[in-house]
Amino acid sequence: MKKFILVITILLLTCACSNSLKSIKIDNLEKKLNNKESFVLCLINDEEEGLTLKKTLGKVIKDKKIDSFFINTDKLNDNDEEKLENLFTYEDSNIIIFIKKGQENSVLSRITDPFINEKDLQKELEEQGY
């Protein structure tokens, strides 16, 4: 029985410590920006493109120590949508934004291809310093 509990505990700790793509609320995003944190932000929608981008980013960061978050823009209320638009200029969802010390690296460094493959995304993350 002790071995069983030990194995379960190890599995739970391993899962809890692994990085994954996490949902973030606008208020928490604002706090991270104000705290000058570095992370990757993915803006998605409920369509195939958004779900594909979210899945690809999730796979790539799975074994890395990269704080990564997503916001589903289809699920934002008007107030949160306005807050997000004040933080980042964007026309379409399904983009990846690189944040360093609370600031976007560059609008030009965004990933706007929702069907980017894992290899290219990995390379882009490395080029952006992640």
This prediction's pTM: 0.82
Q: What is the pLDDT of residue 61?
A: 94
Ordered per-residue pLDDT tens for the chain, 130 residues? 554 443 344 444 444 444 589 999 999 999 999 999 999 999 999 999 999 999 999 999 998 889 999 999 999 999 999 999 999 988 888 999 999 999 998 999 999 999 999 999 999 999 999 9
Exposure b/e, 21-50, CB count within 10 A at least 16 = b: beebebeebeebbeeeebbbbbbbbeeebb
Q: What is the pLDDT of residue 19?
A: 58
Q: What is the pLDDT of residue 55?
A: 96
Tell me the angle at which helices 26-34 and 78-87 cross, rounded to the nearest 10 degrees. 20
Tokens coding 80: 């949160």
H or E, element range at 24 = none
Q: What is the pLDDT of residue 16?
A: 42
Q: Which domains are assigned to the chain?
A: 20-127 (3.40.30.10)
